Amino acid sequence: MKRSQYDVVVIGGGPGGYVAAARAARFGLSTALVESWLIGGTCINIGCMPTKALLETVHRAEQVRTAPSFGVRGVDPHAVEINWPAAIARVDRLVLSMRDGVQHMLERAGVELVRGTAKLLGKGVVEVTQPRRRSRTLRGSKLIIAAGAVPDPAPVQAAADRMLGLADFYRLPRLPQHFVVFGSGQVATELALLVAMAGVNAALVAAEPTLLSALDSELGAFAERRLRRAGVALHLGRGIVGTRGTGVVLDDGSLVRADHLLHAGRRLPDRSAWAGLELAEHESGLKVDRFGRTSLPEVYAVGDVTGGMMTASAASALATVAVDHILGRASTVDLARVPTAVYLEPELASVGASEEQLQRRGIAYRASRYPLAANSKALIADEVDGFVKVLSDTEQGEVLGVHIAAANATDLISEAALAIRFGLTADEMAAVVHPHPAFSESVVEAARG
């Protein structure tokens, strides 16, 4: 007979939910994880992993095209093209492997996986509606909501007849001729560059006047230049008001050719799990304290439902904090010190404060930049497009922010995150000896100023 009482019930099987469930179970708490869809959530199944896998495909194609300039014979750059069905088949294999890995991890930890749609009824009670089966009631001494987020349909409702979701995009049998991405953030910029590098006539429409507005403006400007160079037509500060003939109509009356429109804009917390339950909210999601507690003491929330930093790494970090608090262990995470990664070509990464944030706060700082064109490893690899920027306090020299555009910026940023986490100064950061030649020397040189 299935049990109904648990120490912890987790709602949602994405990076926040599965990390929370596995950690709770490993520390001896009886744990149930409720998921109505696929383990791994958006990130593994239709988000982070598929996108990055396809970006790797177009990156490899570009490497092959440029191979003759490295002295490689037998390559016809003009014959290189993307085999979309083969690339998608590889994505499917990777996603299945990752999803199975997470599921096996949960099983080994002792988590009971409950399939169905969860709804909080209050006082630690969760009702799970299961297809073609009777509803099941779970009771948890503690509940963790990690239900994720869903796209806000409002900005693209007028073009719904041409719209694709992420899952639809990965099921396309072939790449279209004309493709429009809506949005200005990480996902939108990555997807716009992806389809452009795959040979599609790509456009990006965004209501915001700039790309990646949450990051340092120098990274946003870099992203704009990169997308334009790849042939992406940018329509910034524009809205979509309808469709006509071969495309979508913008609010200035212009027509943008579009076989498909991919919505990669604003996402909203999935409120279905706590609908009707009186949990305190702010304008973007559930209110939580630094331990993830909501306004009900037995209910925690992590990840996108809190409306904060909507990334897998932030969700996982917050999940760890919430479970630690349930266990009586002291841990916290400062989202301002969690790195952000954008997998363009080259990559962008950021941690800490931007110049704009420091200026708004009235903090005196020093900005030191180092161009990748001066780095030996970048010259060897012909990856000279980019920079490293270190922002430090003018009085103590403490590192306040690091912003990188480089071929492997998403790896380089971890060193900067460590420096900011432990309050290192730019001089202390620069004192760490690095191998030569290495991309990471750019971080040292930027810190050195």
CATH code of residue 284: 3.50.50.60
pLDDT on residue 277: 87
Q: What is the pLDDT of residue 357?
A: 98
Domain finish residue from 278, 306, 336: 336
pTM, to two decimals? 0.95
For residue 80, being part of any structural domain is answered with no
pLDDT digits (tens, 9 = 90+) for 28-84: 999 999 999 999 999 999 999 999 999 999 999 999 999 999 999 999 999 999 999
Specify which residues 350 forms β-bridges with: 340, 403
Task: Give the pLDDT band (50/70/90) at residue 330.
Answer: confident
Give the domain-ending residue among 265, 294, 310. Answer: 265
Phi, psi of 113 (to 5 degrees): -90, 120
What pLDDT is recorded for position 276?
Answer: 82
Establish if 243 belongs to a structural domain.
Answer: yes
**What mean pLDDT comes out for the span 363-392?**
98
Q: What is the CATH number of the domain that holds 350?
A: 3.30.390.30
Q: Give yes or no: residues 113 and 131 share one domain.
A: yes
Window from 1-10, 162-171, 237-246, 426-435 with minimum mean pLDDT: 1-10
**Same domain membership, residue 217 and residue 135:** no
Phi, psi of 246 (to 5 degrees): -95, 5
Distance, in Å, from the CA atom of 384 to the CA atom of 2, rounded to the nearest integer, reads 59
Instruction: Give the list of residues 6+ apart from residue 406 with CB closer than 8 angstroms, or none.
Output: 346, 347, 372, 378, 383, 386, 387, 388, 412, 439, 442
Look at residue 1 and tell me whether its pLDDT is greater than 60. Answer: no
Q: 278 and 130, same structural domain?
A: yes
207-246 pLDDT, tens digit per residue, is: 999 999 999 999 999 999 999 999 999 999 999 999 999 9
| Percentage of the chain modeled with pLDDT above 90 | 94
288 assigned to some structural domain: yes
Same domain, 241 and 373: no
Catalytic residue among 78, 178, 260, 436: 436
> Is 157 inside a domain boundary?
yes
Domain shared by 92 and 187, yes or no: no
Residue 6: pLDDT band by 50, 70, 90 thresholds? very high
Q: Which domain holds residue 202?
A: 153-265
Whether 436 is a known active-site residue: answer yes
CA dihedral 318, 321, 323, 328 (to 10 degrees): -160
Q: Is 94 exposed, middle or buried (0-12, 13-18, 19+ CB in 10 A)?
A: middle
Helix (H, G, I), strand (E, B) or coil at 15: helix
Looking at the 3D structure of the chain, how many domains does it have?
A: 3
Long-range CB pairs of 47-50 (<8 Å, 24+ gap) are 47/166, 47/187, 47/312, 48/312, 49/91, 49/94, 49/95, 49/98, 50/91, 50/94, 50/95, 50/166, 50/170
Residue 419 lies in a domain: yes
Q: Of 287, 306, 336, which residue sits at a domain end?
A: 336
* Domain co-membership, 40 together with 134: yes
Where residue 304 falls among pLDDT bands split at 50, 70, 90? very high
Confidence of residue 2 (pLDDT cuts 50, 70, 90): confident
Contact between 149 and 265 under an 8 Å Cβ cutoff? The reply is: no
Pairing of strands 201-206, 233-236: parallel
pLDDT classification of 131: cutoffs 50, 70, 90: confident
**75: in domain:** no
- 57 within domain boundaries: no
Residue 168 has pLDDT above 70, yes or no: yes
Q: Cα–Cα–Cα angle for 117, 123, 129, nearest 5°?
A: 15
